[in-house]
Structure 1
Amino acid sequence: MTSTTTAEPSAPAPKRFRGGPWGTLVAIAFGVMMVALDGTIVAVANPVIGADLNASLAELQWVTHGYLLGLAVFLITAGKLGDRFGHRRMYMIGVVGFMLTSVAIALSSGVILLVAFRVLQGVFGAIIAPAAMGLLRSSFPPHMLGRAFGVFGSLLGGATAAGPIVGGFLVGVFGWQSVFYINVPVGLLAVGLGVWLLAPNRAVDAGSRLDAPGILLLSVAIFALVWALVEAPTIGWAHPETLLVLALALVFAVAFALREHLAADPLLPLGIFRSSSVSIGTVLMILMALGLMGSLFFVTFYLQGVHGMSPIESGLQLLPMTAMMAVGSPLAGRLMDRVGTRVPTAAGLTAAALGLLVLSQLATDSGVVHISAGFVLLGGGLSFVMTGATAAIIGNAPVKLAGVASGMQQAAMQLGGSLGTAVLGALLSVTIAGALPGHFADAGLPRPDAAELAAMQGLVSQGAAAVPEGASAEVAAAITGASHLAFMDGMHLAFGVSAVVMFLAALLSLAMKPAPRTEQPAVHV
């Protein structure tokens, strides 16, 4: 097979729908939403899964993190495969595999098997996401990329934020298995639209070779990092196992960087990071996911455990954030096509920080207005951040690296989600351990000893209370009240730290530069 190097035209998009830019966007919509939805849909289902399968908090975290692990480890590699073999082909493979693993998850009878299939589901999700973004990057002309990324961000952010709402309804009516069965009709629709609307398969980097050593080194580095982030809150950050796995991640990451520097055809050309916008956009994507995924994971425990809401009610409470993310991203894309990414992204990060500050002031009896105000600011702000960071990363990458750049963008988002739940979870847990004895004493209860505190900590971290069997109504109310106050202390600190991180990220975003308005050379097959 021979290849020729030509320049991508910067002419306006074709008018045709089938095989054109907007037809491509419609075709990939349901596949993208399916992947994003599954990252958060189990947030509301976690308490029910835990009760049904007798799972601990650590095991419940793995239901979420197993999926993120599969995604994060394979995203960049999947992006390279899309560049090499064609994004249309990889997209269809990913959608079919995602459906099949979803059915396997729903049929799982134990939490270990469920987590294993969640990891595999994440691998297929990793194939879908960069393939979809690669299709957009090669279909839309440069002057319309902001708009395309805005709509893409709306799909991604809206589905991510809608997960708890959809999950709440499905769990409340049909049981937790339905949050996975729903992927079958959605996936079939995605396959049908892909066959109908997507242009013939086209590889944008057909002449490249697969960097097998680079794939291995990067996969081990990311796997070790995510593993450490998941396990550290449970076994301790200073535990020898945590330190060993973190050291392993560092060693393999350094080895990967050296390999990519020397490789003739690297998996991830390090020259891409010479663009300050690509580097900053990657950091911003991590921080954005840290705030979004971290807040969603713990706020569901607040709504269901502390407020006593049902899964459906807690999902509906998140509707303001969902709406803002769905509406805000297309607006952000249009605005960024006109004024660039820097100012809108900084404004979005500032709004998200203010939203987290509002959420950090929640009380056990906070009303709907207070909760919704925080989610409106958070959702609206993050929609601008997601669009701006995506445009910064992919808009500054050449077309032939569209899949790799998209995989890097998505990997940053997944790593940020794992980092958010791990670090914020550690802050929550440590705060609860320190605050619970004092709240027990204030409620006229005997202070728990070390063993009792360790036994209570997991339940309190989920917004619940360890009420002894046979306790009187008065004692049960006192234990529940003290437990909820300790949980609120931990949640306040977690949200406060997230707000500070967002403010710092807003300052960093001001260093981004605009993406080029003309296409860079691309390889056609």
Structure 2
Amino acid sequence: MSQSVVDNAKADVPPQRTAPPGGGIKGHPWLTLLTVAVGVMMVALDGTIVAIANPVIQEKLHAAPSEIQWVTSGYLLALAVFLITAGKIGDRFGHKTAFLVGAVGFAATSAAIGFAGDIRTVIAFRVLQGLFGALLQPAALGLLRGAFPAERLNMAIGIWGGVIGASTAAGPIVGGLLVEHVSWESVFFINVPVGLIALVLGLLVLKDVRAENAAKSFDLLGIALLSVAMFALVFGIIKAPEWGWGDPSTLLFLGGAVVLMVLFALWQGKAREPLIPLGLFRSLPLSAGTLLMVLMAFAFFGAIFFVTFYLQNVHGMSPVSAGVHLLPMTGMMIVGSPVAGIAIGKLGPRIPIVAGMLITTAAMFGMSTLDTGSGTGVMSLWFVLMGLGISPVMVGATEVIVGNAPLELSGVAGGLQQSAMQVGGSLGTAVLGALMAAKVSDVLPGNWAEAGLPPVEGPQAEGLRQAAQLGIAPPAPPGTPQQVVDAMAGAVHDSFVSGMSLAFAVASVVAFGAALLGLLTRRGTTDAGPAVHI
């Protein structure tokens, strides 16, 4: 790798091809977009649809709370650990191959989960599902970059982001309908026909995309160091709320992640074919875009995690109703992502990213003012602003990271973008969750006493505290007067909202910091696309 891999990228590859002449479907840009969107839709849909099914899975398979947590955590952990390596695999063997293997594997593991008869088998196949999902996402970005000319890439990424938003929005609704009217297994079986469609379209439409000068060998030591470091980091973040941030086990995992990351960086400077050449980060916009993605995911996914509990447990909505109430936010993401792509194509990413994060900051601050009696109108206002603000950041940061990377590392850049989002989201959920839990524990005794309720002590007090952190009112003994039942629910809900307000306030500060970081971004410097091989 040359000293300035970014600046020399144009000289290393042939010029970008344009849309194929005539009506041929092989390599057609818009059909390529349709194909990768179908594949990535499975991954996005899976992120929210399974959350709705988890309570039923726990009941039907008699799973412990710690086990049901790993239905989600195991999937996210595998996804985060493997994303950058998966991008490298696409760069080496072709993004078409990586995409097809990912689509087939994701559908097959989904079917296996549906046929599983115990929780441990479910968790094992969820980990495998995460590995195949990691293959899909960087490959999708690499295929888009190879199919679209530079001036249309932002629009393509915008539509791709809209599909992800639509799938995320549909998850709670589709999941609620399937769980209520079919079975929890159907939540996973739905991926099988989607995966088959992605496979057929991929075979008919996709052209292979890889750079002429992509590395021909794998940095096995680099892969091992990065994978173990990512595992230690994400696992430590996931377990920190349970263990405590100052617990020796938490410090061991997080400290170990730091040490391994340093060793990985030192090795990358010596390796002949490094997994992530350090010269990649000489691009200030790429580095800023990566950190921006971490902060955006920290604020957005960390804070929005509490909204579903707020809607279902404080306002008493069903899963389907909660999904419908979130449509103003996800609907704006569906509409806003393609529009953001057009705006970024004309203005560059800096202005839309900064404006988007400022709007997100306002939405986060507004959501910190919600209380137990907030109506649909005021909630919808903040949800609309949230979706409107996040859209240009999702599209712009992706363009900044992938567009400023050398073309032979487009898959690695796609994996870097997705890894930043996974780490940021996991860190945000853990940190904001810890802050919220501390706030709820602090105000709950006062709210409980203020409601005129007798003090709760011992194991019951701990159970009450944990339930309040989710907004769940404790069950009242038979014969309890309704006035007392309402007072118990009111004390718990007020405590939950206090914690949620703190989480959103902190998220708004992080979002504002991301807006300032957005000033360092700029349009990708590698305008030519990678060589395309059939």
What does residue 366 of structure 1 align with? 374
Q: Aligned with 1:447: secondary structure?
A: coil
Measured after TM superposition, the shift of residue 70 of structure 1 is: 0.8
Cα 1:521–1:133, aligned 2, differ >3 Å: closer, same or farther? closer
Partner in structure 2 of residue 444 of structure 1 = 452
Q: Which moved more, 1:41-50 or 1:346-355?
A: 41-50
Contact 2:90 2:210 in 1 (8 A): no
Q: Which residue of 2 aligns with 1:142?
A: 150
Partner letter of residue 183 of structure 1?
Answer: N
Give distance in 1, aligned partners of 2:75 and 2:225.
Answer: 20
Aligned to 2:515: 506
For 1:500, the aligned partner's letter is: V
- For normalisation by structure 2, the TM-score amounts to 0.92
Task: Find the aligned partners of 2:213 and 2:60 in 1 and give their Cα distance.
Answer: 48
- The answer (yes or no) to whether the contact 1:460–1:483 under 8 Å persists in 2 is yes
Aligned ranges for residues 334-483 of structure 1 at < 5 Å? 334-449=342-457, 451-470=459-478, 472-474=480-482, 475-483=484-492
SS at structure 1 position matched to 2:360: helix
TM-score w.r.t. structure 1 length? 0.94
Question: Which segments of 5 or more consecutive residues in structure 1 lack a partner in the other structure?
Answer: none
1:416-440 deviation digits (Å, cap 9, x = unpaired)? 1211211121112111111111111
| Corresponding residue of 1:7 | 13
Alpha-carbon distance between aligned partners in 2 of 1:46 and 1:102, rounded to the nearest angstrom: 15
Q: Give deviations 1:53-101, integer Å, cap 9, x for gaps.
A: 4556654443322221111100000000010011111111111111121
Q: Which residue of 2 aligns with 1:256?
A: 264
CA distance in 2 between partners of 1:245 and 1:349 (Å): 32
- What is the letter of the counterpart of residue 521 of structure 2? M
One of 188, 191, 202 as aligned partner of 1:183: 191
Is this contact kept in 2: 1:440–1:447, CA < 8 A? yes
Q: 1:132 to 1:63 in 2, by over 3 A?
A: same
- The 5 A counterparts of 1:118-137 are 118-137=126-145
For 1:262, what is the secondary structure of its paired residue? coil
Change (3 A) 1:479 1:53: farther
Equivalent residue for 1:89? 97
Which residue identity lines up with residue 253 of structure 1 in the other structure? M
Indicate whether 1:199 and 2:207 are aligned: yes
Query: Per-residue CA shift, 1:120-157, capped at 9, x if unaligned?
Result: 21111001111111111122222222112212222223
Match of 1:39 among 28, 47, 63: 47
RMSD, matched Cα: 2.1
Whole-angstrom CA distance in 2 between matches of 1:372 and 1:495: 16
Q: 1:363 to 1:56 in 2, by over 3 A?
A: farther
Letter in 2 for 1:272: L
Letter in 2 for 1:133: L
Residue of 253, 276, 279 corresponding to 1:271: 279
Q: Distance in 2 between matches of 1:369 and 1:148?
A: 33
What is the alpha-carbon distance in structure 2 between the residues aligned to residue 351 and residue 201 of structure 1? 37
Give the 3 Å change call, closer, same or farther, for CA 300–126 of structure 1 in structure 2: same
Counterpart-to-counterpart distance in 1, 2:50 and 2:310: 15
Report the secondary structure of 2:285's partner residue: helix
Q: Does 1:151 align with 2:166?
A: no
Q: Distance in 1 between matches of 2:425 and 2:32?
A: 28
Given candidates 488, 499, 506, the residue that maps to 1:497 is 506
Are 2:16 and 2:530, in contact at CA under 8 Å, matched by a contact in 1? no
Q: Which residue does 2:220 correspond to in 1?
A: 212
Partner deviation per Cα, 1:307-362 (whole Å, 9 max, x = no partner): 11111111111111111111111111111111100000111111112122222121
Within the alignment, does 1:246 sit opposite 2:254 as a pair?
A: yes
Deviation at 1:523, TM superposition (A): 9.6
Whole-angstrom distance in 2 between the partners of 1:7 and 1:434: 60
| 2:363 and 2:385 in contact (8 A); partners too | yes
Distance, in Å, in 2 between the alignment partners of 1:160 and 1:249 is 30
- 2:357 counterpart of 1:321: no
Equivalent in the alignment of 2:6 = none
Equivalent pair of 1:467/1:479 in contact (CA under 8 Å): no
> Which runs of no fewer than 5 residues in structure 2 stay unpaired?
1-10
**For residues 533 and 196 of structure 2, what CA distance do their matches in structure 1 show?**
30
Q: How many residues align?
A: 521
